[in-house]
Amino acid sequence: MTDEQIRTEDRVRYTITEDGIADVRMVREDKMNALDDAMFEALITVGQEIAANNKVRAVVISGDGRAFCAGLDFGRFEAMKGGAIRAVSQRDPIGPAKATGQQAPHVWTAMPVPVIAAVHGFAFGGGCQIALAADIRIVHPDTKMSLLETKWGLIPDMTGTQLLAGLVRRDVAKELIYTHKIVDGVEAERIGLATHTSQTPYDDAMALAKEIASKSPHAIRHAKVLTEMAGRASLEEGFDQEQVAIKDLIGTPNQVEAVTAGMSKREAKYADYDG
């Protein structure tokens, strides 16, 4: 079966729970979910499908088998040696992401709802960059994480150079990239590369997603937009967008439900996002 004939579900599968959680799994288990052309395309396609589904309130992305994602498929390195690699996708760009390798992680950063990466085994190179694209990373203590690209004479070109410096100190980001240092989950949490460590990252990610999904989807979507702006837009623009968001929320059915449920000390029942 050629890459062109491989179906999305041969690389990435997902289900949506009754709570509105998109449970996304990379399923190329025999290759530790390594990134080939089909995996890139599957990540983008699935991400776009989920982003367009207003019933989704949170996303958990994980990898089947022994690893979250071991990075670039070695077949692509061979293709680079021969100059046969395809550098840029013909897809419509996702926001500022132009190349396929950028779109595959950026589709998760651009997701209108929170994305949680449940990371175990290995998250190397492009796999690490997919994890960086999530809002929150829950990582097994024994996980090995690294931006390995300089080992192969490359740079982290799947949005990694831009995302990493927003998570760790800039000097730490430079050290990680320059040296392709491998860190375990404990060290990743200490430096800010991981949000939390857990012996059961997938279970904890799903539990956190369920908690997020229990909140007003309108408020959560606005909160994601605003926190993504922080440090990337001017303070004035951030303040302005806070006011836009609060005016969009006050008095809406879900906001009224939040107040009513809180005052009544009962669980809120929120309507799905309606665009």
| Per-10-residue mean pLDDT, the chain, length 275 | 62 97 97 96 96 98 98 72 52 83 96 98 98 98 97 95 94 97 98 98 98 98 96 94 98 97 97 93
Q: Tell me: the pLDDT tens digits for 19-58? A: 999 999 999 999 999 999 999 999 999 999 999 999 999 9
Which pLDDT score is estimated for 1? 41
Contact assessment for residue 62 and residue 26, using Cβ atoms and an 8 Å cutoff: yes
- Which amino acid type is present at position 14? Y
pLDDT at 94: 83
**Which of helix, strand or coil describes residue 89?**
coil
Output the pLDDT for position 92. Answer: 75
Ordered by where they begin, the domains of the chain are 3-212 (3.90.226.10), 216-264 (1.10.12)
Taking the C-alpha atoms of residue 176 and residue 47, their distance in angstroms, rounded to an integer, is 28
* 3-state SS assignment for residue 70: coil
DSSP state of 147: -
SS (H, E, C) 152-211: HCCCCCCCHHHHHCCCCCHHHHHHHHHHCCCEEHHHHHHHCCCCEECCCHHHHHHHHHHH
Q: What is the spatial distance between Cα 87 and Cα 10, in angstroms, rounded to a whole number?
A: 23
Q: Which residues contact 103 (CB under 8 A, 6 or more apart)?
A: 40, 44, 89, 91, 93, 94, 97
Residue 183's DSSP bridge partners are 145
Asked whether 136 and 208 are in contact (CB, 8 A), the reply is yes
> Residue 136 pairs with which residues in a beta bridge?
116
Q: Could you tell me the CA-to-CA distances from 3 to 39, 83, 86, 116, 120 in Å, in that order? A: 9, 18, 13, 28, 26
Q: What tens digit of pLDDT does each residue of 181-216 get?
A: 999 999 999 999 999 999 999 999 999 999 999 999
**Rounded Cα–Cα distance for residues 154 and 10 (Å):** 28
First CA to last CA distance, the chain: 40
**pLDDT in the model for residue 251:** 97
